[in-house]
Structure 1
Amino acid sequence: MARGKIQIKRIENSTNRQVTYSKRRNGIFKKANELTVLCDAKVSIIMFSSTGKLHEYISPSTTTKEFFDEYQRMLAVDLWTSQYQKMQEKLKSLKEMNMNLRREIRQRSGQCLNDLSFEQLPLLEQDIDNALGVIRERKFKVLSNQIETKKKKLRNEAEIHRRLRSEFEARMEDPQYGLVDNEEHYETVIPGFFALRLQQNQPNAHAGSGSDLTTYPLLD
């Protein structure tokens, strides 16, 4: 059964369009290779897909540059001169921009002022004043942060000193202070836990044990 004629128009479905492009591209490259071998021809094909991908075929015995050089020679045209001139103009523009920036930097440091007119000097002075304002603002912010950090550190050290002094004074008044912390909490949370207290000025409860600790069971 003969295959129906395909209407030549844009394929709307993107997947089908990409599949068709891949198949026909391979077919064209195959025909180009056959033409190169059978006829000893130089063939070059360049393709860009709808997704922006580049595909090209160049005869195996020819490089891309050689092919375009031959194209220029046969048509007596120069494909590279215009592009080279554009690149030179772009390079010249970038060099001028770089030179102007370097000159502005030197002028801001007090150099190359002889190149400025009287009208330009006040503008440079204003730019320097604005820059100094930004620098001073940044400096003030950094100093403020450093001062605030030191204040926080001093407050923390003062709090630690106050707490240590309070504990020292409490120990001076009661030598057993701090040996058992929050006894009521232990009695509530962990029933049956044995609290240990130092027994000062009392005989050893267990002879030969070598310990002066007496255990007291907590009440449920």
Structure 2
Amino acid sequence: MTRGQIQIRRIENITNRQVTYSKRRNGLFKKAQELVVLCDAKVSIIMISSRNKLHEFTTPGTTTKQIYDMYQQLSGNDVWSSQYAMMLEELRKIKEANGNIRKEIRRRMGFSMEDMSFRELVILQQDMQDSVAKISERKYKAIANQIETTRKKLRNSHGIHRSLVHAFGALNLNEYGADPPTAAGSYLTTYTYLE
């Protein structure tokens, strides 16, 4: 009995579509491997699934780039020139942006302002004043945080000091009994407490 011919159209069920993709991809890669072994052919297959997963088969011992280079050489099509032109354009834009940023940094440091118009100078001055205000605000916030941290440490150390003085006093009272020594032979040292 022969297999019935299936109609080639998009599979609507996502699970069935993924299973079919996986089976047919494996079948295609198997056929490509057979071509490589039987015919000593150089094969490269690149597949991207609907879930944006990359699957690739390339003849062992070669790279996809080598296959493209051979294709370019044999067909006369320049595959890389458009990509190279796009990369050069991207590089030019990055260099231009880098130059503008460097120029802006030099201007903010007070250099390279000869070619600036009055309006640009006013804008630069306003930007610098805004920056100084933000830096001052951040500086005062950092100082306030340090002061608060120091106060907490000081309060903590005073609490420890009080508890030690109290513990030392209780310890000495137990040592001498109910009657502490007279003022001439006092065992307590008085510490000044700073608020």
Q: TM tier, shorter chain?
A: 0.7 to 0.9
CA 1:141 to 1:131, structure 2 compared with 1: closer, same or farther past 3 Å? same
Consecutive unaligned residues of structure 1, counting only runs of 5 or more, are 180-197, 201-220
The residue that corresponds to 1:122 in the other structure is 122
CA 1:164 to 1:11, structure 2 compared with 1: closer, same or farther past 3 Å? same
For 1:167 and 1:44, the matched residues in 2 are separated by: 84
For 1:42 and 1:161, the matched residues in 2 are separated by: 84
Alpha-carbon distance, 1:98 to partner = 1.1
The residue that corresponds to 1:82 in the other structure is 82
Moved more, 128-137 or 74-83: 74-83
The residue that corresponds to 2:13 in the other structure is 13
The residue that corresponds to 1:55 in the other structure is 55
Note the aligned Cα RMSD (angstroms). Answer: 3.3
For 1:66 and 1:131, the matched residues in 2 are separated by: 53
The equivalences for 1:123-202 within 5 A come to 123-158=123-158, 175-176=173-174
The residue that corresponds to 2:70 in the other structure is 70
Alpha-carbon distance, 1:32 to partner = 2.8
CA 1:136 to 1:9, structure 2 compared with 1: closer, same or farther past 3 Å? same
Max Rg structure: 1
The residue that corresponds to 2:112 in the other structure is 112
Confirm or deny that 1:43 pairs with 2:46.
no
For 2:85 and 2:168, the matched residues in 1 are separated by: 87
Alpha-carbon distance, 1:56 to partner = 2.8
Deviation by residue 1:139-167 (Cα, 9 ceiling, x = unmatched)? 11112222223333444455555666677
The residue that corresponds to 1:31 in the other structure is 31
How many pairs does the alignment contain? 179
Q: Percent identity?
A: 56
Deviation by residue 1:91-135 (Cα, 9 ceiling, x = unmatched)? 111111111111211211112222322221111111110000001
For 2:44 and 2:160, the matched residues in 1 are separated by: 83
For 2:98 and 2:130, the matched residues in 1 are separated by: 23
For 2:169 and 2:36, the matched residues in 1 are separated by: 103
For 2:167 and 2:64, the matched residues in 1 are separated by: 88
Alpha-carbon distance, 1:77 to partner = 1.9
Alpha-carbon distance, 1:20 to partner = 1.7
For 1:82 and 1:148, the matched residues in 2 are separated by: 62
Alpha-carbon distance, 1:48 to partner = 1.5
TM-score after normalising by structure 2 = 0.73
Deviation by residue 1:7-59 (Cα, 9 ceiling, x = unmatched)? 32222333322222222222222323333444444433222222222223334
For 1:126 and 1:141, the matched residues in 2 are separated by: 23
Alpha-carbon distance, 1:85 to partner = 0.8
CA 1:102 to 1:171, structure 2 compared with 1: closer, same or farther past 3 Å? same
